[in-house]
Amino acid sequence: MKEYFADLFAAVTSIAKGMGITLAHLFTKNETQQYLSEENPGARWQSVIVPEGLLQDRSRMRLHVKIEDCIGCKQCEKVCPVDCIDITTEKREKTDAPIFAADGTAVKQKVVQFDIDMSLCCYCSLCVYPCPTECIVMTPEYEFAETVKSEFLYRFAKETPAPPEPPKKETSDPVAAGGS
């Protein structure tokens, strides 16, 4: 009998306690943020714990290649664990005018094909580290949903090999587009 009433009492008090907590939360500030609203136009998550502007510093959401700097060393292709990078190079003629990457490395290979299949990418960022000219980078741009899978083939090389029309994917600079 004692147990019966103790049970009842425990039930009532614990339920009252829980209801107190939920009632208090009814009047506290909301933690979620509206995606694309007047208050949050940039579609960026405003973290409450990370100082403003620092959250995306190292974010790796989408690969981008500054193709002018690529020297065609294929290090990224080798290290990729899911084989999503595809590079073809041609030897540059000695007679061609010398080109240099941003850091001064001479470009000896002509990169005729630099494809990244973003639908395979596992965002591990392993390709970024070995790059000698830092031309392959991860950008914090994360909104790149497509309805057709072939749109995920990002073709960075300026000159593509002969075969038919390449898909009309604009490899626009994601940093400029979404870096805000």
Partner 1 sequence: MSLDAAAVQQRIEAKFPGKITSAELEVTDPFLVIDNAAIVEVGTFLRDEPELAFDMLHCHSAVDYLELKEPEKARIEVVLHLTSLKHRHWIVLKVMLPRDNPKTPTLENIWPTANWHEREAYDLFGIEFEGHSDLRRIFLPEDWAGHPLRKDWEWPDEWHGIAVKPDEKFSQRAMEGENIGVGPFD
Partner 2 sequence: MGLKRPDLETKISNLLSPLVVAGAGGALVLIALVPQLAALIREQLQANLSPTAAAVAASAIGVGATVFLVGQLPVFLIWFERKVAAHIQDRLGPMRVGWHGVLQSFADGIKLVFKEDIIVNGADRFLFKLAPFLVLMGAFSAFAVLPWHTGLVVSDLNIGLLYVVAITSLGSIGLLMAGWASNNKYALYGGMRSAAQMVSYEIPTAIVILSVVVQVGSLNLQDVISAQLGGFGNFANWHIFRLYGLNVIGFVLFFICGLAETNRSPFDIPEAESELVAGFHTEYSGIRFGLFFLAEYGAMFFVAGLTVVLYLGGWSGPFFEGPLVFFIKTLALVFVQMWLRWTLPRLRVDQLMALCWKYVIPFAFLVLLVAALASAGAS
Partner 3 sequence: MSSQTQYKDLEPDEAYAFKPEDLEPDEMILNMGPQHPSTHGVLRIELKTDGEIVKDAQPHIGYLHRNFEKHAENIDYQGVIPFTDRMDYVGSMNNSLTYAVAVEKLMEIEVNERVQSIRVITSELQRIASHLLALGTYGMDIGAFTPFLHSFREREKILDLFEWLCGARLLYNYNWIGGLSHDLPNQWTDRAKIFLDQFEPVIDELDNLLSYNKIFTKRTADVGIIPPERAVGYALTGPNLRGSGIKWDIRKEDPYCGYEKYEFDVPVGQGRYGPIGSCWDRYYVRVEEMRQSVRITRQAIEQMPAEGDVRETVPKRVKPKPGEAYGRTEAPRGELGFYVVSDGGLIPYRVKGRSPCFVAMSIFREIAKGEMIADMIAIIGSLDIVLGEIDR
- φ, ψ for residue 90, nearest 5 deg: -125, 145
48 CB neighbour count, 10 Å cutoff: 8
Q: Is 143 in the site for partner 1 (CB under 8 A)?
A: no
Name the residue among 160, 159, 154 with its Cα closest to residue 172. Answer: 154
Q: What is the CA radius of gyration of the chain?
A: 26
38-67: which residues touch partner 3 (CB under 8 A)?
Answer: 45, 47-51, 54-60
Q: Is 178 in the site for partner 2 (CB under 8 A)?
A: yes
Q: Is 73 in the site for partner 1 (CB under 8 A)?
A: no
154 CB neighbour count, 10 Å cutoff: 23
Q: In whole angstroms, what is the distance from residue 162 CA to residue 142 CA?
A: 32
Closest CB to partner 2 among residues 29, 91 = 29
Q: In whole angstroms, what is the distance from residue 86 CA to residue 63 CA?
A: 13
Number of residues engaging partner 1 in binding (CB under 8 A): 17
The binder of 122, among partner 2, partner 3, partner 1, none, by C-beta within 5 to 8 A per type, is: partner 3
- The residue type found at 153 is L
Q: Is 22 in the site for partner 3 (CB under 8 A)?
A: yes
In whole angstroms, how close is the CB of 26 to partner 2 at the nearest point? Answer: 5
146-175: which residues touch partner 3 (CB under 8 A)?
Answer: none
Q: In whole angstroms, what is the distance from residue 67 CA to residue 133 CA?
A: 10
One character per residue 121-140, x = contact with partner 3 (rule: CB under 8 A): -xxxxx--x--------x--
Q: Is 37 in the site for partner 2 (CB under 8 A)?
A: yes
In whole angstroms, how close is the CB of 114 to partner 1 at the nearest point? Answer: 11
Residue 161 CA from chain centroid, whole number: 27
Can you give the binding site for partner 2, defined by CB under 8 A? 4, 8, 15, 18-19, 21-23, 25-32, 34, 36-37, 41-43, 177-178, 180
